[in-house]
Structure 1
Amino acid sequence: METDLVLTDIRDGYRVLTLNRPDRLNAFNADLHAALIAALHAAEADTSCRVLILTGAGRGFCAGQDLADVAASPGEAPDLSGTLARHYNPLVRKLRALPMPVIAAVNGVAAGAGANIAFACDIVLAAKSAKFIQAFAKLGLVPDSGGSWFLPRLVGAARARGLALLAEPVAAEQAEAWGMIWRAVDDAALLAEAHRLAAHFATQPTAGLALIKQALDASESNSLDQQLDLECELQGQAGRTADYGEAVAAFFDKRPPRFIGRP
């Protein structure tokens, strides 16, 4: 196994996870998947970690799948569905289910699964030089890692079909204008902006933010009646957290709240 495939930088209240295969534009192989999942589990187990930044080393965020890692023997077809079931699908589910905000700081190309892993995060920042590419059609493949689910919800059906079928790159500023990402920033300011957001989230009511993530994800398939019932359930949980009690006390005391971030 390659070593140091995911670099972990532990800060006050948050962690920075950096994909570290810069010579391959941080393309995924089995070892990188294992290292990233392990880093996500370690962050979740750390009660002092209340937000994550995910970024890439070198010139790119992530070029998607390393094709050399899934190459089959001559005359045989690769098991791509197995690769998704073993690696990409668990990774996307883990990112969505983490009980804390996840910020993607896209520092260069985000192609194929690399783009969709970014979209699985809660807040996507991108350097203005970055590009998002649904490269699958050029290989005769289908958008995966949630791409066929994220794209229509982010940019609408017409743009999703164009992006998936034409595999044309989308520049960061266009991605922001289309609502594909949260914000495009100057290249030199990317990590500073990611750290600013992380430092903000590290002082916020983390358990409540996790419930917001849960509510928004469920809204994609719920009816209005189902969503109202879920809001009722989740608001009951939120109202029982120490952070809500602290917010109310701070309001009456006319002081800033001091959130602990736990239920």
Structure 2
Amino acid sequence: MNAPTSPPASSSGTSEAGTIGTTFIDGIARLTLNNPRRKNAINLDMAAAVVEFCDRVTDDLSIGAVIVDAAGPYFCSGADTRDLAASSADPASPEAVRRTSAVYGSFVRVGELPVPTVSVVVGGAVGAGLNLALATDMLITTPESLLESGFLARRIHPGGGHLALLGRKVGWSTTIAMATCGASMTGSEAVERGLAHAAVAAEEIASYAEQLVAPAAEDPELTRRILRSARLELGPPAVSLPSALEIERGVQMWSMSRKGKQAWSSRGPQRS
């Protein structure tokens, strides 16, 4: 794999307040939040660009993995407070609903991508920024990064499925501690509690993310089928073991047929 550690971002969003960078190299699609002056707060143009990126990943069968990262020293501070302020003037108005739905809907699209996704959280993630990270299949961070719910500090109710995203990772007690009491956790604590996949030094985290998804990117067709089976089996809701067996049976037979008899040696399976 020849994907660079810090690829040049090709702009997909065009707002003066921030952009989205995208690259597609060696089966890995990368989405980079590029609004460092506002700690990569996500505005409406950026949210629309995220959806465009997800459309391309979904349709391009040569893509086997996605990395979500950010420019600058902080992953994401949440939704742009200027949009939140505008929505607060009349929260029930169609325009306010459109604003919040656009931002939160982009996270749903990331969570529905047909390939494994990994978020690279450096510095920290709060509120909707944490939602984006939790929408990915794997969150990797640095030991000292700070992960916070953040909604309580702004005296607003969580949004974007925040409680569900947290609860699926860390359970009831920690979710309530973060959402109603303002508790936070470092990257190291996030790994211990199951919120993050790994905590890696900042200077190594980019290459770690690339190495993590490289095998998935080598065989996008198989990767997409494995991920689909995992979602069917694990849910929510999860299925029974007999049901899981049947979900896997046909797809495993397809993969064995594709591999072919000659690809197996007397010493066991070898890479084809």
Q: TM-score, normalised by structure 2?
A: 0.83
Give 1:96's aligned residue.
111
Work out the CA distance in 1 between the residues paired with 2:190 and 2:132.
15
Work out the CA distance in 1 between the residues paired with 2:168 and 2:89.
39
2:228 to 208, 211, 215: 211
Give 2:8's aligned residue.
none
Work out the CA distance in 2 between the residues paired with 1:77 and 1:144.
13
The reply to whether residue 64 of structure 1 matches residue 69 of structure 2 is no
1:16-95 residue pairs with structure 2 within 5 A? 16-72=30-86, 76-77=90-91, 81-88=97-104, 90-95=105-110
Work out the CA distance in 2 between the residues paired with 1:146 and 1:160.
12
Secondary structure of 1:63's match? coil
Give 2:164's aligned residue.
149
- Residues 77, 48 of structure 1: alpha-carbon distance in 2 compared, 3 angstrom cutoff: closer
Give 2:131's aligned residue.
116
Secondary structure of 2:24's match? strand
Give 1:182's aligned residue.
197
Higher mean alpha-carbon deviation, 185-194 vs 126-135, is at 126-135
Work out the CA distance in 1 between the residues paired with 2:123 and 2:229.
29
CA-CA distance at 1:245 after TM superposition: 2.4
Deviations 1:166-207 (A, max 9, x none): 223311000001111101011111001001012121124213
Work out the CA distance in 1 between the residues paired with 2:228 and 2:207.
27
Give 1:129's aligned residue.
144
CA-CA distance at 1:153 after TM superposition: 2.1
CA-CA distance at 1:234 after TM superposition: 2.5
- Residues 73, 86 of structure 1: alpha-carbon distance in 2 compared, 3 angstrom cutoff: closer
Work out the CA distance in 1 between the residues paired with 2:92 and 2:70.
27
Structure 1: gaps spanning 5 or more residues: 259-263
Work out the CA distance in 2 between the residues paired with 1:91 and 1:74.
20
- Residues 196, 84 of structure 1: alpha-carbon distance in 2 compared, 3 angstrom cutoff: same
Work out the CA distance in 2 between the residues paired with 1:74 and 1:236.
51
Higher mean alpha-carbon deviation, 94-103 vs 75-84, is at 75-84
The reply to whether residue 238 of structure 1 matches residue 254 of structure 2 is no
- Asked if structure 1 preserves the Cα contact closer than 8 Å seen for 2:142 and 2:187, the reply is yes
Work out the CA distance in 2 between the residues paired with 1:11 and 1:106.
21
CA-CA distance at 1:123 after TM superposition: 1.1
Deviations 1:14-67 (A, max 9, x none): 121111111111111100101111112112222211101000110111110111
The two structures, once aligned, show a CA RMSD in angstroms of 2.5
CA-CA distance at 1:221 after TM superposition: 2.5
The residue type equivalent to 2:175 in the other structure is A
The residue type equivalent to 2:85 in the other structure is A
- Asked if structure 2 preserves the Cα contact closer than 8 Å seen for 1:71 and 1:78, the reply is no
Secondary structure of 2:204's match? helix
Q: TM-score, normalised by structure 1?
A: 0.85
Deviations 1:57-95 (A, max 9, x none): 10111110111123238964475544333331x323322
Work out the CA distance in 2 between the residues paired with 1:73 and 1:123.
31
- Asked if structure 1 preserves the Cα contact closer than 8 Å seen for 2:79 and 2:103, the reply is no
The reply to whether residue 159 of structure 1 matches residue 174 of structure 2 is yes
Structure 2: gaps spanning 5 or more residues: 1-13
